[in-house]
Amino acid sequence: MPKPFRYLLYVAVIALLAYNSVYFKKLDEVKAGTAAFDAAGYAKNFWEKKLTPGLSKAVELGILTTQLQTEKDKAFEQHSYALGIGNIRYFLVKGKGVVTDVSENEVTVKLTDAGESAGNVRIATEYIFGNAVRDASGAIDINAFTNSMDFNNVSAEINKLIREKVVPAFKSKVKKGDHVAFHGAIELNRAHLQVNDIEVIPVSLQIEKP
């Protein structure tokens, strides 16, 4: 085979291989092929399959506050969760009590199932935000998320579920003197512990007959 012809053949083969191994797609086609993270769907699934079934493991808030005053480190180790290193920890709690005050933003409850040391707690009914409910159960693995925005959006969607499904029916009926039962999440600072002014982000709320 003459050298010039052989050279042209080599060039043609290389060009064909290069053509088949490199291709271009429009940017909108690439974006369309990447599925966006469904934070609302994830939050709903977490609520129904992990959070709600896990409420049975919630600690009695009155018992917790007593333990925090006598065995703080043990209480944090046994009942709290956090996804990072630091003093902020989250607890999944439950309790019963009598409503002593109803305001636009919260309902104050005097706990009745764990002695006088429990005191009053505030159940948030207006400003539902933060990561307490997402993190208190310890049932979400941060490593399952590819970025922090998706992870934070899950919190936002969980809080939206609380504002839309948990609070309205309770808030429209509750009044001073009612007996209530609740499950929820609280946030406490291990280094600057305050047990006399605890706010509960509710997961379930019921008005009970006395």
pLDDT tens, position by position, 76-112: 999 999 887 789 999 999 999 999 999 999 999 999 8
Q: What is the pLDDT of residue 144?
A: 86
Confirm whether 97 is domain-assigned: yes
Q: Is residue 115 pLDDT above 90, yes or no?
A: no
Q: Average pLDDT, stretch 68-75? A: 93
Q: Which of 191, 85, 172 is nearest to 125 (CA)?
A: 172
Q: What kind and span of H or E run contains 37?
A: none
Distance between CA atoms of residues 100 and 102, nearest Å: 7
Which range has the worst mean pLDDT, 111-120, 124-133, 190-199? 111-120
Confirm whether 4 is domain-assigned: no
Domain that holds residue 154: 37-208
Confirm whether 91 is domain-assigned: yes
Q: Assess contact for 37 and 150: CB atoms under 8 A.
A: yes
Q: Tell me, what CATH number does 144's domain have?
A: 2.40.50.420
For the segment 148-201, what is each residue's pLDDT rounded down to a tens digit?
Answer: 999 999 999 999 999 999 999 999 999 999 999 999 999 999 999 988 889 999
Confirm whether 24 is domain-assigned: no
Q: What is the pLDDT of residue 195?
A: 87
Q: What kind and span of H or E run contains 93?
A: strand 88-102
Cut 0.85: pTM above it: no
Distance between CA atoms of residues 131 and 201, nearest Å: 10
Q: Assess contact for 107 and 97: CB atoms under 8 A.
A: no
What are the tokens at 17? Answer: 């291989």
Cα 50 to Cα 45, 53, 83: the distances in Å are 8, 6, 17
Confirm whether 5 is domain-assigned: no
Confirm whether 8 is domain-assigned: no
- Facing residues of 208 across strands? 179
The domain total for the chain is 1
Confidence of residue 25 (pLDDT cuts 50, 70, 90): very low
Confirm whether 14 is domain-assigned: no
Residue with more model confidence, 73 or 34: 73
Q: Assess contact for 59 and 73: CB atoms under 8 A.
A: no
Confidence of residue 21 (pLDDT cuts 50, 70, 90): very low
Confirm whether 147 is domain-assigned: yes
